[in-house]
Chains A and B, each alone.
Chain A
Amino acid sequence: MNREATYVEAIREATRQEMERDESVVVYGLDVDDPKAIQGTTAGLLEKFGAGRVFGTPLAEDAMTGVGIGMALAGLRPIHVHIRMDFVMLAMNQLINVAAKSRYMYGGQVQIPLVVRAMIGRSWGQGAQHSQGLYSFFMSVPGLRVVAPTNPHDAKGCLVEAIRTDDPVLYVEHRFLHFQKGPVPEALYATPLGKARVTVPGTDVTLVGISYAQTECLQAQRYLEAVGISAEVIDPIWLSPLDVETIADSVAKTGRLCVVDNGWTTCGAGAEIIARVMERLQSVREVKILRLGFAPVTCPPTPTLEALYYPNGRTIAAGVNDLVLGRPTGWVPEERKEWKNIEFKGPF
């Protein structure tokens, strides 16, 4: 029952099981059928389901997205895989002008059950064009759903839900999460649309971490616990639709909200989450807020600047500590090496 699997294995299993269950599910994208099989997430699918249902593509993000839309219009359930979200930028026209709008624009007569898998995240000095977490762009577009699972359990459940949903879904995977292990039931299950989860209960502050930032928030929670601050950590899981209720309920209790984004904060997912919570709580109780994310600069590859660019468990704890105490204290916790995340090594 308590079977463990990695995030990669969870994605692969969800895909395989859904393809077995529903023959309209098709997986395609650049390099899905190459020897590395997108970090292993698509390994073995070609052998099992054949080249009709699993295929690599030319380097043609825009056209291949349009092709996915066409397949979806004809009744297939395509999963289009991108090894980096940065490359999805080439497909914005098809995704935003066509996929997101078709159902509405055609008066409900069509649906586009397209899943777009997009990897985000750094590693090994990836630099400006290989590190962006741009999912907030998609959150602002009605008709698109956005999900960013953070553990292997949700990686499987959310992908299943995304495949079964009759709308286009952007499925966001952070590379640092790929090799995390956790419990993943073997049986097929879906993680319901638009439901957040309280990962760690607490009383002093609500800490929301998006995608990989969830992991850093869990570390921050431990640093804070050590100085007597109780943080309630929430994983929003789905960004669109967003479960504001779970977050607002928590903030109604704690009176403090810190959102840690895995992208830039300006017009980011954190901005949206905070705005939505404040709309609800403005006449209910006073709330102190903080949003954290990438420094508002282009991502530098050199390690010294990269370390300053990304929020981490310690900088989050420092920010939250000041939020709770209501003043800048300059406190930053001493690093606890044993809490450090998996290290990435090149040449990825």
Chain B
Amino acid sequence: MNERFYRALYRIRRVEEEVAKAYPSDKIKSPVHLSIGQEAVAVGVCEALKPEDIVFASYRGHAAYLAKGGDLNRMIAELYGRVTGCAKGKGGSMHLIDVAHGVMGSSAVVGTTIPNAAGYAYALKLRGSDALVAAFFGDGATDEGVFYESLNFAALKRLPMIFICENNSYAIHTHQNQRQAISNIAERAASFGIPAEVIADDVIAVYSAIDKAAKAIRSGAGGPFFFECMTYRWKEHVGPGEDYHLGYRSREEATKWIDNDQVRVAGERLRAPRRASIEAEVEAEIADAFAFAENSPFPSADELWKDVYGASTA
């Protein structure tokens, strides 16, 4: 398990570092919202899910996409706008999708996928499936009305879903305290009759909590469950750089989180040679993915007109 966690964490971190490195070349013409610093949430959650389970993410969705098994080559190609991308270059970084691996998409409009996740969970329940849905969203999304409307519906219908609030304290540059009278997101969810918990930035803690909830849902005890996962974004809101100079947060604040870097902590649980070989494998995979993107063609002009409508089923 330690090896799996470390591989997943290290892989996400390194993919995003490479994205940040490539960004100034202008080859990635897509706004990127990096999850660097927040990897433990996606990994902890997705390691507890089964392949047939589903995740919905936000525009900050690289980590969830990768953690759930989304194809790396197709992700990088998508960022590069290539036809081999997971959405043929028609989505970009904010709209990653991998249907085969249960990544059902992400939206650039905050909060939008929360009710979509609930709807998917409703369908699973209606069809008697024992799969479940995890919905990822930020603390900012919990400002939106649709969040509460979705909680109510999910609780009402006892949906097989897990709400994952990635609370990194900020919505762009605005702290949670400047947007919410009380920082009690989990409690608010609980007020809908949903079991809710706050979890520290610790990949094993996240995994254990989700595993327990997932097992409860699969055993027929029903859902939904709610987890507020405390985390921190190291990089700027959008783009490859850092933004401590803007003054809305301090580097000291970040230091506390960086000292608890879950990628490092997970790595230290492994013996050095084993760790080195995992890293080497991941590095090779990432190098291949960037080469794949670089060598892939852009979509041809006729692709502009495809996918607007589907075929008639009549």
Contacts and interface: CB of A to CB of B under 8 A. Distances in A.
A35 B247 contact: yes
Interface string A102-141: 0000000000000000000000111111100000000000
A301 B298 contact: no
B91 A59 contact: no
Contacts of B239: 346-347
Interface stretch (B27-35, B202-210, B280-288): B27-35
A35 B246 contact: yes
A307 B70 CA distance: 29
A329 interface: no
Contact of B94 (A61, A129, A305, A346): A129
Contacts of B89: 300-302, 304-305
Given A304-B81, A305-B90, A346-B239, A35 B248 contact: yes
A49 interface: no
Contacts of B141: 59
Contact of A129 (B108, B145, B298): B108
A263 to B, nearest CB: 16
A124 B308 contact: no
Interface in B274-298: 298
Interface of B is mostly: loop
Interface residues of A, number: 40
A346 B23 contact: yes
Contact of A59 (B23, B171, B308): B171
Interface in B256-314: 298-299, 301, 303-305, 307-308
B102 interface: no
Contacts of B246: 35-36
B173 A127 contact: no
B31 A347 contact: yes
Interface in B168-202: 171-174, 178-180
A76 B189 CA distance: 35
Contacts of A89: 109
Chain A CB count within 10 A is highest, among B95, B107, B140, B172, for B172
Nearest to A37: B173
Nearest to B178: A56
Most B CB contacts (10 A, CB to CB) among A297, A301, A302 go to: A302
B82 interface: yes
Interface string A304-347: 11001100000000000000000000000000000000000111
A124 B29 contact: yes
Of B32, B140, B174, B303, which is in contact with the most chain A CB atoms at under 10 Å from its CB?
A: B174
Given A304-B298, A305-B89, A347-B32, A86 B109 contact: yes
B30 A125 contact: yes
Interface string B218-262: 000000000000000000101110000011100000000000000
B90 A300 contact: yes
Nearest to B308: A297
Interface string B27-58: 01111100000000000000000000000000
Interface string A46-83: 00000000001111111100000000000000000000
Contacts of A308: 301, 304
B111 interface: yes
B81 A303 contact: yes
B81 A302 contact: yes
A295 interface: yes
Contacts of B140: 59
B173 A35 contact: yes
Contacts of B71: none
A129 to B, nearest CB: 4
Contact of A303 (B29, B108, B304): B29
A300 B298 contact: no
Given A59-B143, A302-B298, A130 B171 contact: no
A347 B240 contact: yes
Contacts of B91: 127-128, 301
B144 interface: yes
A130 to B, nearest CB: 5
B81 A59 contact: no
B90 A125 contact: no
Contacts of B9: none
Contact of A125 (B81, B144, B238, B248): B81
A128 B95 contact: yes
8 contacts: A124-B31, A125-B30, A125-B81, A130-B31, A300-B303, A303-B298, A347-B31, A347-B32
Interface of B: 23, 26, 28-32, 81-82, 85, 89-92, 94-95, 107-111, 140-141, 143-145, 171-174, 178-180, 236, 238-240, 246-248, 298-299, 301, 303-305, 307-308
Interface of A: 30-31, 34-36, 56-63, 86-87, 89-90, 124-130, 295-298, 300-305, 308-309, 345-348
